């Protein structure tokens, strides 16, 4: 006869599975069809014709993401939706390594709660349905971290190969995730520390390096072949790297922000407020309480038992290393660049809050632990609700650039509109009016001289760029309209102001 306690746990387990199935269903039924940014257009166009020189997509090509998108595009005509559905499927599959990592310490039920907690982060809901390569890379990252854990537990050479393979998939999906390769160096350091007499340590390292090179060459060689050889690929890479560290790349070498401003925005606005809380006050409060409890437990624990210190330490080091890279080498105007940190942080937070050794406590200690678990479940519920709402809005609310294009289509008189990155979306929408990307004020003045019979329109991004070159130009323009969308979906182009140029 099955005990009542077991029935209760079985029901909870079934409930977790039902919730995960609902998350999958909800994301699928609310997959978007809007191309919200230049990068999303790049990926969408690449599904029909892969050409990095034409920025379809931009360097380094993200071949594994495009390959997956092409497979789904054969079933789903809309390229944006096909990329989104691919991300949704691959994100749900990443629950497997998260669960397996949880099983190294927790019961099946608590491992399921951990998996749900990690995947409940509301901002990750947006990432998972966006036609960008972050979702695929984060999913592969979990498989990579699981393979690292397995390699730490077993020193056999066979267990050293999967991490190298997953790292290749990771870089072929999102090159900016390269800091996580530090885990391999950590593995080799552990091998060196625990080497035994007679071990051919350097031979093992050489074999692993050769395997790593072969795995990376799979996607690099394919890109080189597509670009006419290694010379073409190197030329593209040099141009991309130079661009990444200038104004459009948003790195610390190009941005006008101070170091402390970048640090504050990245840590508090991008990581905590947007990444962890999804810009929800309720979620921020719930997570803030959990973080506070976690710090209290860490600094007041007299004895730490049953903690996989080397692995947890590695995760902390990886978080710090990636955070430094995001701080100095990524665009802080785009919170999605901190997305790989969110799940790992939630994993570590759960590990601190729900230690297996604490379940051996009796009475007061056990009641306190049950209360913490209830608070984790409550925070998870808040995140799930907020994430579901965000995904629904993401699917139905038009980007500001779409609203602008729709209004411009209504204008009957001849005109031209000067834009920045908005022009990429206009190309994708195949609009029937004239638009042009422009950066230089002097060139603009020369151009409008020959457009005597046309209205001259421009966006606030163009005007701001001109004012950096020529000072205030407010007296020469008239504001026509403002188009807005949610900045959590469109971090840069969430507010587009349309102006008309008055002075010839």
* Each residue's pLDDT tens digit, 451-462: 888 999 999 999
Contact, 244 vs 251, CB < 8 A? yes
Q: What is the pLDDT of residues 228-241, one digit of tens each?
A: 777 777 777 777 66
- Answer yes or no: is pLDDT of 251 > 70: no
Contact, 420 vs 496, CB < 8 A? no
Q: Rounded to whole angstroms, how far apart are CA atoms 95 and 20?
A: 9
Kindly state the DSSP code that residue 273 receives in the 8-state scheme: I
Q: Rounded to whole angstroms, how far apart are CA atoms 348 and 343?
A: 9
Q: What is the pTM of this model?
A: 0.93
pLDDT for residue 357: 45
Asked which of 173-177, 202-206, 321-325, 343-347 is least confident by mean pLDDT, the reply is 202-206
CA of residue 155 relative to chain centroid, distance = 32
Q: What is the pLDDT of residues 133-156, one digit of tens each?
A: 999 999 999 999 999 999 998 888
Element (H, E) at 406: helix 400-408
pLDDT for residue 305: 46
Under the banding of pLDDT at 50, 70 and 90, the label for residue 181 is very high
Q: Considering all CA atoms of the chain, what is the largest pairwise distance in Å, rounded to the nearest integer? A: 90
pLDDT for residue 3: 63
Element (H, E) at 482: strand 477-484
Contact, 143 vs 97, CB < 8 A? yes
Quote the percentage of the chain above a pLDDT of 90: 69
pLDDT for residue 504: 57
Mean pLDDT over 478-489 rounds to 96
Q: Give me the phi and psi of 487, to 5 degrees please.
A: -70, -15
Under the banding of pLDDT at 50, 70 and 90, the label for residue 306 is very low
- Please tell me which residue, 337 or 51, carries the higher pLDDT value: 337
Contact, 163 vs 145, CB < 8 A? no
Question: CB under 8 Å, gap of 24 or more: what pairs does 166-172 form?
Answer: 166/140, 167/212, 167/215, 168/212, 168/215, 168/216, 168/218, 168/219, 169/64, 169/140, 169/143, 169/144, 170/137, 170/140, 170/141, 170/144, 171/216, 171/219, 172/62, 172/63, 172/64, 172/216, 172/218, 172/219
Mean pLDDT over 77-106 rounds to 96
């Amino acid at each position: 006869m099955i005990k009542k306690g077991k029935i209760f746990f079985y029901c909870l387990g079934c409930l977790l599975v039902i919730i995960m199935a609902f998350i999958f269903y909800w994301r699928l039924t609310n997959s978007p069809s809007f191309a919200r940014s230049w990068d999303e257009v790049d990926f969408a166009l690449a599904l029909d014709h892969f050409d990095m020189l034409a920025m379809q997509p931009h360097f380094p090509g993200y071949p594994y993401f495009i390959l997956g998108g092409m497979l789904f595009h054969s079933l789903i005509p809309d390229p944006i939706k096909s990329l989104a559905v691919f991300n949704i499927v691959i994100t749900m599959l990443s629950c497997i390594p998260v669960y397996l990592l949880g099983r190294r310490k927790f019961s099946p039920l608590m491992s399921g709660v951990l998996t749900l907690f990690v995947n409940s982060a509301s901002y990750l809901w947006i990432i998972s349905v966006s036609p960008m390569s972050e979702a695929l890379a984060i999913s592969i990252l979990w498989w990579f971290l699981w393979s690292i854990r397995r390699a730490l537990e077993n020193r056999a050479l066979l267990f050293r190969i999967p991490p190298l393979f997953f790292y290749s998939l990771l870089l072929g999906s999102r090159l900016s995730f390269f800091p996580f390769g530090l885990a391999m160096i950590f593995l080799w350091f552990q091998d060196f520390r625990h080497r035994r007499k007679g071990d051919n340590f350097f031979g093992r390292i050489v074999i692993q390096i050769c395997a790593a090179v072969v795995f990376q060459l799979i996607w690099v060689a394919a890109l080189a072949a597509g670009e006419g050889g290694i010379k073409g690929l190197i030329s593209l890479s040099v141009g991309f790297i130079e661009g990444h560290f200038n104004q459009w790349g948003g790195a610390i070498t190009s941005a006008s922000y101070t170091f402390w401003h970048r640090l504050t925005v990245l840590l508090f606005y991008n990581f905590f407020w947007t990444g962890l809380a999804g810009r929800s006050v309720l979620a921020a409060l719930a997570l803030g309480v959990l973080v506070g409890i976690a710090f209290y437990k860490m600094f007041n624990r007299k004895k730490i038992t049953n903690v996989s210190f080397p692995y947890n330490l590695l995760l902390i080091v990886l978080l710090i290393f990636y955070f430094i890279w995001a701080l100095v080498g990524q665009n802080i105007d785009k919170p999605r660049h901190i997305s790989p940190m969110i799940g790992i942080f939630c994993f570590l937070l759960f590990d601190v809050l729900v230690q297996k050794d604490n379940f051996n406590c009796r009475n007061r200690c056990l009641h306190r632990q049950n209360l913490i678990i209830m608070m984790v479940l409550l925070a998870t519920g808040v995140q799930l609700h907020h994430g579901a709402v965000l995904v629904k809005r993401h699917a139905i609310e038009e980007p500001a650039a779409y609203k602008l294009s729709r209004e411009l289509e209504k204008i009957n008189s001849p005109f031209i509109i000067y834009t920045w990155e908005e022009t990429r979306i206009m190309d994708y929408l195949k609009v029937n009016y004239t638009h042009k990307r422009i950066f230089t004020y002097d060139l603009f003045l020369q151009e409008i001289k020959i457009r005597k019979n046309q209205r001259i329109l421009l966006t606030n991004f163009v005007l701001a760029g001109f004012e950096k070159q020529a000072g205030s130009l407010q007296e020469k323009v008239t504001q026509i309209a403002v188009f807005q969308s949610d900045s959590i979906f469109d971090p840069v182009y969430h507010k587009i102001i349309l102006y008309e140029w008055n002075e010839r």
